Chain A
């Protein structure tokens, strides 16, 4: 028999970015809140302290901050004909673990989608007609518009403490900002960070080519800053141990620096670590949840935790897994198109050029996770899909972000991978290379989806989630277009040599190299229960007291890193709970 604990108003599953936002905003309503986090507790002090944190092997390579596959993982196959095999050791994506989640060790690139990306199907229909949509692509509009989301993006950017320069203030284009972004009601909370040498070279080349460079919007403090919860940040010192690391000096935007200390001071909030939620329990009529069952690692027992409201904020993959296990919707069937859970899983399509300059010193270890200069000249709202033959776009960025030598040792083509030639190569080229990356959109397809694996189980005996995923021609064509545009720009910078890495049509998904932890979809938002798992307020269509947050809500992935949208949606959701749901709990749509 599971232990049963006293009922709470709200139980939060996972204490990363979205769980922290839900926690503090709902705690302000005076609700009795319990957050359950499967991982360990961690905070700037003592866990991210200098110098222990400055350890590439432990955090960058052995990934000690991340989800352990021995505890939780997925199986992967590239088509319905393949047998899915477990993702046994981390490679392609690195889900977070422990208090703060992946928000602790992300890069901090914080974007809002373009308005067109939130109504992409309509954008395509109005400009080119639906006949350009390839067969098998589940192209959708979001059930929220950019204008509705704008205040919530702004709110998240203030809380997280984002540095940047507006390109569009209330419709007026601003010099030095991104002219292709959606309108902003206010400028960024902090000015942009200083520009490193590689970004400067890129910026100059872009300007010379008539493109529109601007500073990457960074969840990295450029000045001293106090956010709306009274949390303080200090300016980043470009320590270079940023992506995959906790920040040792309160400069990277994270749940720890932006929310958690303020939240922990609230008497009506409690959190428990090493408490892994196993499933959401539904009432007999299946229309509401009664609470969650979790594994209390310290006590070594299952606990039933009753609650009036359940917030799923356990990251996209874990949310979808929990929803499949709990019957919070029907599993998606790609053959019939019926069912919604696991539908429209999407990812990110990236490529890039590495440039070698024998006489330049880039000091690649001087950087931060969101360093650099970007352009949006090849982004979704700039591309003529009809003429180009694909739907999508990308942003480009150049900026040092981790020059640690185990992982970052670009060498010119032809340099041996080992032996005397390799050793000579690292001596000659370390510090003399820079890169330009293309970070591109990824559409949703009937063939890319999530369900439960028939064979493999986790340590609790639950089926693992199965990912069916492969690259699709539309996105690969987009990537090749970026290559064709980026190579001439890179060549205009006159490098000693350069080389490209862009997946081409025919590329198969490889789980080994890191790509991004931007897994999206699977519990998508929709106008009607037939199309998605949650409504525009992230409320599950199945049980009105369950809200599922995070990038699982994305109908397809945008060209940007997801967290600006994830944070905006989290604020949009908690606003609806505060203003509409608490006074009258019911389906909000």
Chain B
């Protein structure tokens, strides 16, 4: 393990606390490393999603967490990259889940994930189905709708009005969950670019050392976030 600068190893930590020495924050010793900017989203090399799916994910996440207003949107946070990588990995393929049949995808939602499809397959089948619902309803696929229509279509999807087969029923739920995960997870997973979402809400990321803070009552923690790889913002 390489300690982040300013972070004590276990031994020095124990020594420091035994001696009653307050641990110094790491901001002072921090020097922001300049990083090469990531590839623009339109040049990003997709690992799982195809072109139609990518266009949908770009458009849908941009409505789930829009860019307007304070704080980053899903696009600035590079949430689509996160989703692509997650679907290409063991989350997409549900490696850890019990996927043996028989399946009853019509079971009520309180009974949990019951579709025979894994999350990557749900995205694969649900996106074209939902796009054709958009075609029928608006004569355009989702990505080509204006933002008000997109919001309306997503609301219909969420409410189960843009009817999907029972196997795909949980699509909106996982799309929204994965979008928020990509917004808030450590940047090593491709989203939360520059830790902008953490800066926005005031979450210090991987600092995880607050020995002197429990009794600093009602004082806002002042330091910005660090990531697992040692980035600061």
Contact = CB atoms under 8 A, between A and B. Distances in A.
B138 interface: no
Nearest to B227: A51
B214 A195 contact: yes
Contacts of B113: 88-89
Contacts of A346: none
A197 B109 CA distance: 38
A237 B211 CA distance: 4
Contacts of A56: 184-186
A85 B104 contact: yes
Contacts of B1: 45-46, 49-50, 52
Interface stretch (A11-19, A67-75, A270-278, A480-488): A67-75
Interface stretch (A288-296, A389-397, A505-513): A505-513
Interface residues of B, number: 71
A363 B95 contact: no
A193 interface: yes
Contact of A427 (B70, B109, B211): B70
Interface in B81-102: 91, 94-100, 102
A421 to B, nearest CB: 9
A450 B104 CA distance: 21
A260 interface: no
B139 interface: no
Contacts of A86: 98, 100
Contact of B214 (A51, A238, A424): A238
Specify which of A55, A88, A420, A431 lies most central, judged by the most chain B CB atoms within 10 Å of its CB: A88
Contacts of A229: none
Interface stretch (B46-54, B129-137, B160-168, B195-203): B195-203
Contact of B211 (A63, A235, A405): A235
A54 B110 contact: no
A134 interface: no
A281 to B, nearest CB: 27
Contacts of A405: 184, 197-198, 201, 203
B218 to A, nearest CB: 5
B35 interface: no
Contacts of B71: 423, 426-427
21 contacts: A46-B1, A50-B3, A51-B226, A54-B186, A54-B228, A63-B96, A68-B96, A68-B97, A69-B98, A85-B107, A85-B114, A88-B97, A88-B113, A89-B94, A89-B113, A194-B214, A237-B211, A239-B210, A363-B221, A431-B220, A512-B109
Given A57-B185, A363-B216, A419-B151, 6 more contacts: A61-B181, A76-B112, A88-B114, A423-B71, A427-B201, A456-B98
